[in-house]
Amino acid sequence: MSNYKKIIFTGGSGRFGSTFRKIHNNKKYLYPSRKTLDIFKYNSLKKYFKKHKPDLVIHCAALSRPMDMHDKEISKSIKTNIIGTSNLVCICEELNIKIIYFSTNYIYPGTKGNYDENSSIKPINSYAWSKLGGESAVQMYKNSLILRICMTENPFIHKSAYKNLITNFIFHEEIAKLLPKLYTKKGIINVGGKSQSVYKFVKKFNPNIKGIYLTKKNKIAKLDTSMNIRKFKKIIS
């Protein structure tokens, strides 16, 4: 596992953060609120880190859904996912703190699937571009780990699921349990479950889910952002 004694988790009140907190609710972890730890305010952020002296930061605080928000509120997306992340990286570098950054499988082009960590990247939407912006800052700092992750809530919150969107969905609970096995790793790791359509994944848990199709210019268009997770499976086995 790891010998990290103090871990700060950003985004602890978010969807994944809430799940993670239920499983890892001990004194080793700090889950500061957005008001307590404002990633936009560099000086107060640095002051908080100096006070609590973490040796690991798990950075999950981000804007994600709804996806079209990243087109409608570009400055908000940039400020949170890129500038906020950059602030954290700068402080971690100065204080020699490791950072784990949650990115997304949507930074891959979606044309062929089975992308490994060295595959070419081309974000499929503005959300993915914002996460890649955060990745760029994290990659400059060597004491870091980037998780290109594909996860969702349990139960699945939508009433329908795409039949022609291929991903590696895995539930939040599973990732929360497995994450400590990744603490000592560095670089980039694709994280997720079996490659399959969103519909096929959800139907196993919700037989009544409605199947729909992703379209582009009124035509059905398959999108395959599935990842090769061989590296991840080897670590957790």
Give long-range contacts, CB 8 A cutoff, 24+ apart: 201-204.
Answer: 201/161, 201/167, 201/169, 202/156, 202/161, 202/169, 203/161
- CB 106 within 8 Å of CB 64: no
Q: Cβ distance 48 to 32 under 8 Å?
A: yes
Q: What is the mean pLDDT of each run of 10 residues along the chain (237 residues)?
A: 88 91 94 92 95 97 79 88 96 98 97 97 94 97 98 94 97 97 98 98 96 86 96 97
Rg (CA), the chain: 18
- Domains, in order of start, for the chain: 7-153+169-193+228-236 (3.40.50.720)
3-state secondary structure of 94: helix
The span from the first CA to the last CA of the chain, in angstroms, equals 13
Task: Please count the CA atoms within 13 angstroms of the CA of 30 that sit on its side-chain side.
Answer: 19
What confidence score (pLDDT) does residue 67 get? 67
Residue 14 is given by DSSP the state S
Q: Is the dihedral of CA 148, 152, 158, 163 positive or negative?
A: positive
Q: What pLDDT is attached to residue 63?
A: 78
- Report the pLDDT value the prediction gives residue 141, as an integer from 0 to 100: 98
186/189 Cα distance (integer angstroms): 8
133 contacts 84 by C-beta, under 8 angstroms: no
Residue 127 has a CB neighbour count (10 Å cut-off) of: 24
Q: Which residues contact 179 (CB under 8 A, 6 or more apart)?
A: 20, 58
pLDDT of res. 217: 75
Q: Report CA-CA distances (Å) from 30 to 16, 27, 49, 91.
A: 15, 7, 11, 17
φ and ψ of 128, to 5 deg: -65, -35
Q: What is the pTM of this model?
A: 0.95
Scanning the chain, the segments in alpha helix (DSSP H) are 15-23, 42-52, 69-72, 74-77, 85-95, 126-139, 172-178, 198-203, 230-236
